[in-house]
Structures are given as C-alpha cells and as structure tokens.
C-alpha cells in the first residue's frame, strides 16, 4: 500500500477540481492505497503570499509531501496555466520535494482550448521538483463534473472511462513501487 497526497490547487470553496479529486480518492483507496486529501485553499494566505516556508502550516505540508509515495496534483486552468494558489504553494516546498515520487497531474477547465495546459504548464513545474515519474495527465471539462445534492460526483461515460484508466495506471505504478527504495535525490549540480 502506498500513501498518496491528493492536492487540490483550487482557490474556490465550491471547486469542481477539489470535488473531482475527492471522487478519485475513493478509486485510489479501492486499489488499497492510503489517501491524504489536501485543499491548498485552506492554507493561510499570509504564509502563501508572504512566501514563508517556515510557517507551521507550510512545514506540515512539506512533511505530508515528504511522507507520500505519490501525489495527485489537481488544478483548475486559468488563462492557460495552473492556479496561482498552486504555484504559491509549490514555490514554498523544497526544490526536490517530489524526488522519488510518482505524480499524476490533473486539470479542469471550461474549454477544451485548455487541454494542453496539463503538459505545457503543469507538467514542467512538477518535473522541476525532481519526481521519479510523472504519469499521463488528464484534463476534465468543468461541465462534465456533475455534483449531486448529496455532494456525490458523477461523470459522463466518455469522461469517466478514460479518466479511470489514467487513475488506475497511476495506482498500479504506485503498487509496483510499494516498498521500493525512493529514488536518489539528484544533486543540483549533477548536470553541470
């Protein structure tokens, strides 16, 4: 069993991104993984905007990242990029905070015009943090995330099927790594 940090980078209290992640958390649990949900919007603004990596809440997030075997990183797409909230949080983590980890990037947005933001905006910032592997990412249209009166999320079959394949692939990747030693953290000057 692996530990997965499920990180929502949405600033919205009614976020479809966060709801989608919590829906997928259940699928990861069904694969036998422990899932720790984290909504970045719940972190104190003064720590994020003041760029305070020593704030107790930011230190706690860094510890959650360190303890995780893998991360699901979800963000709404604004102006062809991931959220500023997610960027502020990632900037406060250590340079190689994702070393040895498997990462699944997910994004939501209002238009298919934003589909490439997963690979051209989100993936590069995650890659700069040294993960062992970034699995295939996925983009979901906001309108495909239906939230019932009870808060349950449903997705149309054409969205649910491919997304489940991506999440299942991430889960299998983690299961294959369970118990394996984390990848060595690259030295910042190793490429020099």
Determine the Cα–Cα distance for residues 91 and 49; give it in Å rounded to an integer: 11
Output the pTM of the full model.
Answer: 0.90
Q: What is the pLDDT of residues 18-69, one digit of tens each?
A: 999 999 999 999 999 999 999 999 999 999 999 999 999 999 999 999 999 9
| Spatial CA neighbour of 163 closest among 183, 137, 182, 181 | 137
Closest CA to 35 of 75, 72, 61: 72
97-108 in b/e burial notation, b at 16+ Cβ within 10 A?
bbbbbbbbbbbb
The yes or no reply on domain 3-177 and CATH 3.40.47.10 is no
* Residue 138: other Cβ atoms inside 10 A: 22
Does 1 score more than 80 pLDDT? yes
What band does 102 get if pLDDT is binned at 50, 70 and 90?
Answer: very high
pLDDT digits (tens, 9 = 90+) for 170-187: 999 999 876 554 443 343
Q: What are the CA-CA distances from residue 22 to residues 124, 127, 130 (Å)?
A: 24, 24, 25
> What pLDDT, on the 0 to 100 scale, is given for residue 85?
97
Q: What share of the chain is helix, strand, coil (3-state, %, to 5)?
A: 45, 20, 35
Q: What is the pLDDT of residue 177?
A: 74
Rounded CA separation 86/158 (Å): 28
Tell me phi and psi for residue 109, to 5 degrees. Answer: -170, 170
What does the domain layout of the chain look like in residue ranges?
3-177
């Amino acid at each position: 069993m692996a530990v997965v940090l499920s990180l929502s980078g949405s600033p919205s209290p009614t976020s479809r991104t966060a709801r989608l992640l919590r829906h997928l958390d259940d699928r990861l649990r069904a694969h036998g993984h422990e899932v720790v949900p984290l909504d970045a919007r719940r972190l104190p603004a003064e720590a994020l905007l003041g760029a305070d990596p020593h704030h107790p809440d930011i230190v706690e997030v860094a510890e959650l990242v360190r303890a995780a075997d893998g991360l699901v990183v979800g963000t709404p797409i604004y102006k062809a990029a991931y959220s500023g909230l997610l960027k502020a949080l990632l900037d406060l983590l250590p340079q190689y905070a994702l070393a040895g980890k498997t990462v699944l990037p997910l994004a939501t947005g209002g238009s298919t015009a934003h589909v490439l933001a997963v690979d051209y905006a989100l993936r590069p910032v995650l890659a700069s943090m040294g993960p062992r592997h970034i699995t295939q990412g996925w983009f979901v249209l906001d309108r495909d995330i239906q939230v019932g009166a009870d808060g349950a999320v449903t997705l149309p079959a054409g969205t649910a099927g491919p997304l489940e394949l991506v999440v299942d692939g991430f889960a299998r990747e983690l299961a294959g790594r369970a118990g394996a030693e984390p990848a060595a953290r690259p030295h910042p000057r190793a490429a020099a």
